[in-house]
Amino acid sequence: MTLDALARATGFTKSYLSKIENARKVPPIGSLSRIAVALDSDIAGFFDSGPGVRDAGVCVVRAGERRPVVRGGTAFGYDYLSLAYRKHDKKMEPFIFTFPAKIDSHVFFDHAGEEFLFVLKGRIEFQVGGERWVLREGDSLYFDSHIPHRGWSFGGAAKVLVVIYKSEPRK
């Protein structure tokens, strides 16, 4: 697929896609998800590290085998640990997500699909569209991820289980 075709399919600029392709830009997971959908691929393919990594039917990832997927997720400080990187052709992407204490007040994320968050440790504030919630350990949130969203922690690292359901981009 050409950069022109990928740009049309994802809505990203050719310049942005070229920077990702040439490892000059580390995109957030939402952008990678959109690119994977446009390529009719699985996001795990971006992180495959050789033979034996994929398991078509069942995926077991032991605690010590978790992998950082987007370390520091651009300049925003979001960290992702993949919980199912070995599974190919997934419909969901599960992560342990670490929220930064501070974020750029103008940065929102949106992508096709749905998201589920479950707070494992700490306390976060999460915004979907114009609504905000304070979530504590044990709280959860489920939303349509095409709605602009963002989150940050209160006083220290907050760890959240995040599951992204991938769907076709809205036309």
Q: pLDDT grade, residue 72 (50/70/90)?
A: very low
Predicted TM-score (pTM) of the model is 0.66
The 10s digit of each residue's pLDDT in 79-120 is 788 888 877 778 888 989 887 767 666 778 888 899 999 999
Q: How many domains does the chain have?
A: 1
User: Could you tell me the CATH number of the domain that includes residue 145?
Assistant: 2.60.120.10
- How many angstroms separate the CA atoms of 66 and 61, rounded? 7
18 lies in some domain: no
28 lies in some domain: no
- How many angstroms separate the CA atoms of 136 and 83, rounded? 22
Q: Are 34 and 111 a contacting pair, CB within 8 Å?
A: yes
- How many angstroms separate the CA atoms of 77 and 170, rounded? 28
Domain that holds residue 107: 52-165
Taking alpha carbons only, the member of 2, 86, 100, 107 closest to residue 42 is 86
147 lies in some domain: yes
141 lies in some domain: yes
